[in-house]
């Protein structure tokens, strides 16, 4: 049985607590199924800054690159609000994405029926919601140069960020979206601002060409990103797969996540290209929620998004579909049992802490 190298980055805030629950699940898979997961842990974000003065050390970066999959909990917190820009906690996350070339960010917005009532939307609009946002993650305004603040001759300052997309960057993310659509309802909606951005116009053209050349069996539509934001709020169930750029994806996937009413439940996967020689792809998995410094260390954080992120890891990095489904079923199961952490607490349910929730998933798994 092959070894499977996992690199865990608990990060900051509630990160360590929810990572501990995940470790229980991983060990169970090793014990029961002889899954052969090897766990290493590293530092990222504020934790790395405190230890090494950077948002991720070169050494941990190398270990991330060598792993079969990275699982990151969350970074950031008020403690590091005034550290220098280049070593702020988010820089660790951005370096992992860039150095591992994780260009495809998969962010499912799924509404667990046990939680539909906690959405701010009317339940009938979100019940059964299952939208997959495919966000480009290594390009656009996040990394384009120039990116600077300069002094002008007139005594003013000027800030500049640059949105840059090359053909291949749009081609590969479009292909990921179309491929995933084929495993779902076979529909992709591409979002950009072609009416004001050249990169939007270009995005639209490249996505359309990739569709025509290789994926004409998939239904493709286009929507302006502002209209897309509206439509997500108005009738989110109209979408199957949404593909969009790094910055629009950041905002629209957060809007979509909030529609489900349970941010604490949502996982994400960030994938690189498949290595043609080995068939493997670099990958990092993360819950969508943040580091929640306000509740850190109290044992009350919700570990379910972290565990659901590992289910995505089983599916996308290790092709362990049955185990992924079993883990997802275990998560739904504990919700159906009425167990809730504080963030998703509802009338008539039983409030549990982080480790009790983790144990409940373990028992149902």
DSSP, collapsed to helix, strand or coil, labels residue 349 as coil
Flag whether 84 is marked binding: yes
Cα–Cα distances in Å, from 94 out to 73, 89, 97, 107, 135?
14, 9, 5, 17, 14
Cα(first)–Cα(last) distance of the chain, in Å?
22
Among 30, 163, 208, 219, binds its own copies (CB under 8 A): 163
Tokens of 103: 């260009």
Q: Which does 122 bind (CB under 5 to 8 A by kind): ligand IPM, its own copies, none?
A: its own copies
- Shortest distance, CB of residue 227 to its own copies, whole angstroms? 7
Tokens of 298: 């109290």
Residue 247 in contact with its own copies, rule: CB under 8 A:
yes
Residue 133 in contact with its own copies, rule: CB under 8 A:
no
DSSP letter for each residue of 4-53: EEEEEEEESTTHHHHHHHHHHHHHHHHHHH---EEEEE---THHHHHHHS
Active site annotation includes 193? yes
Among 90, 274, 294, 325, binds ligand IPM (CB under 6 A): 90
Among 127, 179, 185, 250, binds its own copies (CB under 8 A): 250
Site for ligand IPM in 223-242 (CB under 6 A): 226
Flag whether 63 is marked binding: no
**Are 281 and 314 contacting, i.e. CB atoms less than 8 angstroms apart?**
no
Active site annotation includes 5? no
Tokens of 249: 């994806």
Segment interacting with its own copies (CB under 8 A) among 18-26, 83-91, 294-302, 328-336: 83-91
Catalytic residue among 193, 245, 285, 316: 193
CA distance 128 to 207: 28
Catalytic residue among 130, 161, 185, 254: 254
Active site annotation includes 49? no
Q: Which residues pair with 283 in a beta bridge?
A: 271
Residue 250 in contact with ligand IPM, rule: CB under 6 A:
yes
DSSP letter for each residue of 212-223: HHH-TTSEEEEE
Residue 87 in contact with its own copies, rule: CB under 8 A:
no
Active site annotation includes 142? yes
Site string for its own copies, 101-120 (x = CB under 8 A): -------------------x
Active site annotation includes 226? yes
Buried-state track 213-242, b at ≥16 Cβ within 10 A, e below 16: eebeebebebbbbeebbebbeeebeebbbb
**Are 268 and 285 contacting, i.e. CB atoms less than 8 angstroms apart?**
yes
Residue 196 in contact with ligand IPM, rule: CB under 6 A:
yes
Residue 215 in contact with its own copies, rule: CB under 8 A:
no
Closest CA to 305 of 4, 19, 44, 106: 19
Residue 252 in contact with its own copies, rule: CB under 8 A:
yes
> By the criterion CB under 6 A, which residues form the site for ligand IPM?
90, 93, 195-196, 226, 250
> By the criterion CB under 8 A, which residues form the site for its own copies?
85, 88, 90, 94, 120-122, 125, 141-142, 144, 147-149, 152, 156-168, 193, 195-203, 225-227, 229-230, 232-235, 247-248, 250-252, 254-255, 257-259, 263
**Annotated binding site for Mg(2+): which residue ranges?**
226, 250, 254
**Annotated binding site for NAD(+): which residue ranges?**
77-90, 290-302
């Amino acid at each position: 049985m092959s070894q499977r190298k996992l690199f865990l980055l608990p990060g900051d805030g509630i990160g360590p607590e929810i990572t501990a629950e995940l470790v229980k699940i991983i060990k169970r898979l090793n014990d029961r199924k002889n899954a052969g997961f090897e766990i290493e842990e590293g530092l990222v974000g504020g934790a790395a800054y405190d230890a090494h003065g950077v948002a991720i050390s070169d050494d941990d970066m190398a270990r991330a690159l060598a792993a079969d999959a990275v699982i990151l909990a969350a970074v950031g917190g008020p403690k590091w609000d005034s550290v220098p820009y280049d070593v702020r906690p988010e820089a660790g996350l951005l370096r992992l994405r860039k150095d591992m070339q994780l260009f495809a960010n998969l962010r499912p917005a799924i509404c667990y029926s046990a939680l539909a009532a906690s959405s701010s939307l009317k339940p009938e609009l979100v019940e059964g919601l299952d939208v997959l946002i495919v966000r480009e993650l290594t390009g656009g305004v996040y990394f384009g140069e120039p990116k600077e603040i300069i002094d002008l001759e007139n005594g003013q300052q000027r800030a500049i960020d640059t949105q840059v997309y090359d053909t291949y960057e749009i081609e590969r993310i479009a292909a990921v979206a179309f491929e995933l659509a084929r495993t779902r309802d076979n529909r992709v909606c591409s979002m950009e601002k072609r009416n004001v951005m050249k990169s939007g116009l270009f995005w639209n053209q490249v996505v359309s060409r990739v569709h025509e050349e290789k994926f004409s069996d998939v239904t493709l539509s286009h929507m302006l990103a502002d209209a897309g934001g509206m439509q997500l709020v108005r009738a989110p169930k109209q979408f199957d797969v949404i593909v969009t750029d790094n910055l629009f994806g950041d905002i629209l996937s957060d809007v979509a996540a909030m529609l489900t009413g349970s941010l604490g439940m949502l996982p994400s996967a960030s994938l690189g290209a498949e290595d043609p020689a080995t068939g493997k792809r670099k990958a990092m998995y993360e819950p969508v929620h943040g580091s929640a410094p306000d509740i850190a260390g109290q044992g009350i954080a919700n570990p379910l998004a972290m565990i659901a992120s590992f289910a995505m890891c089983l599916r996308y990095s290790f092709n362990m579909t049955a185990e992924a489904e079993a883990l997802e079923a275990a998560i739904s199961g504990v919700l159906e049992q009425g167990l809730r952490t504080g963030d998703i607490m509802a009338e008539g349910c039983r409030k549990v802490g982080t480790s009790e929730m983790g144990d409940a998933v373990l028992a149902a798994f």
